[in-house]
A = this chain, B = another copy of it.
Amino acid sequence: MELRTKNPHFRETILKHLERQEFMKHIGCRLTVIEVGHVEAVIDLDVMHQQQIGLVHGGVTATIADVAAGFAGFTLVGPDEHTVTAEIKVSYFAKGQGSRLRAVGRVVKPGRSLHFCEADVYCMDDAGVETLIARATTTMAVIRP
Interface residues of A (CB under 8 A from B): 17-27, 47-54, 57-60, 62-64, 66-67, 70, 82, 84-95, 108-109, 113-114, 116, 132, 135, 137, 139, 141
Contact = CB atoms under 8 A, between A and B. Distances in A.
A45 to B, nearest CB: 11
If over half of A's interface residues share one DSSP class (helix, strand or loop), that class is named, otherwise mixed; here it is: mixed
Q: How many copies does the complex hold?
A: 4
Given A22-B47, A87-B92, A114-B86, A58 B66 contact: yes
Contacts of A82: 53
B22 A51 contact: yes
Contacts of A137: 87, 89, 91, 135, 137
